[in-house]
Amino acid sequence: MSTQDAYPVDVESIRADFPILERRVGGDVTTPGESEADTEPLVYLDNAATSQTPKQVVETIVEYYYGYNANVHRGIHQLSQEASVAYENSHDRVAEFINAAGREEIIFTKNTTEAMNLVAYAWGLAELGEGDSVVTTQMEHHASLVTWQQICKRTGAELRFIEVDEHGRLDMTHAAELIDDSTKMVSLVHVSNTLGTINPVSEITDLAHDVGAYSFVDGAQAVPTRPVDVQAIDADFYAFSGHKMLGPTGIGVLYGKQAILESMQPYLYGGDMIRKVTYEESTWEDLPWKFEAGTPLIAQGIALHAAIDYLEDIGMEHVQAHEELLAEYAYDQLSAFEDIEIYGPPGDDRGGLVAFNLESVHAHDLSSILNDHAVAIRAGDHCTQPLHDTLGAAASARASFYIYNTRQEVDALIEAVESARQLFA
């Protein structure tokens, strides 16, 4: 059976585009010329934190710096015009990718966290006050939880948390109780970066709209791994990061409905976001530039365009099917160990990650042992400390999968976990 027959994507061809996957790791990394006998092939299973970057995306960055490196929107010369066109086309490409109405609804930020803060400060400080509530969930990433927590402290609004049930899913009855006439914003994660839960974001957005509230969806784990249609979800705001979807670090996206963005004041002030400035007053540029002050993320934005092209050449339905296949396979293999606890929904109903703990072994120790076997996973609270407190776990080990991973790499994970079990027995 060929790789193409075995998987929803052509893994062999995809892996050829990622030179880092050819690395061998281990041994004394400080010793030049370490022999292959002391190393093992890298098994990279930390994709929920950061995905690897294909040659095609890296080449786009190099092409920009070698061919037309210039600032955008400020020069009449050819290089500036070429950079401006490429940068603006990237906004158009992102809008098309998530089915936004147009580039006016696409703001480039440096990551999902900055996108969250942009809305919290530009909208939240102006609109929230005593008697208002913000509703979020117990499974939120700190980018959402901490941001709304601090904004509520400043404004006097109440922060409420939708509970997570014993299966790692949101309690929708509780959600309906919390979202009431006092609610001004409902902010939730699309796919949990710890539980793998795929939340009913459209249903919760409807609950928000029923009481006149806005919705904000954290799509950092969703946009890289599945088709996302922001108009179908009807979210008022939606955010994600490029470095989790084959793009470079330092680029994120905030989608916002145009009418709402136009009603908001800028979050940052400076060059490129203004239309006219006098000593007394300033007026703002059109969307999206109104929210992109200073020299923007030019190379990163152009490279994000290339990353989207790469993913769409594969097909987002195939990307989703592949990572969910591996997640279910990993879930089933780990479930065979009686001394392993897995967090979140069943293996056939989750995103492409599995968080777990080996009994009596701290996740950091487990990760260290796996690293000795060249298996790279994440260990810690995954920026969800309150959720881990709710789960009764100080930390967890998390394996996360993407388009270049294989069943054989999941097998390597399981073998490394078995080695750890034997070591700590």
C-alpha 272/C-alpha 295 separation (Å) is 7
Pairing type for strands 40-41 and 183-189 reads unpaired
Catalytic site residue from 274, 383, 393, 394: 383
C-alpha 245/C-alpha 86 separation (Å) is 19
First and final CA of the chain: distance in angstroms? Answer: 38
Candidates 419, 396, 402; CA nearest to 168 is: 396
Q: Which residues contact 12 (CB under 8 A, 6 or more apart)?
A: 3, 4
| Catalytic-residue membership of 152 | no
Burial class of residue 353 in the structure, from the number of CB atoms within 10 Å of its CB (0-12 exposed, 13-18 middle, 19+ buried): buried
Is residue 328 within 8 Å of residue 334, measured between CB atoms?
no
Q: Count how many residues are written for the chain.
A: 425
Candidates 190, 145, 211; CA nearest to 386 is: 145
Query: Across 31-84, where does the E strand assignment appear?
Result: 40-41, 43-44
Residue 194 has φ and ψ, to the nearest 5°, of: -115, -45
- The distance of Cα 423 from the centroid of its chain, to the nearest Å, equals 34
Q: Which residues contact 172 (CB under 8 A, 6 or more apart)?
A: 200, 203
Is residue 411 within 8 Å of residue 394, measured between CB atoms?
no
Reduce the DSSP state of residue 378 to 3 states and report it. strand
**Tokens matching residue 87:** 């940068």
Q: Which residues carry out catalysis?
A: 383
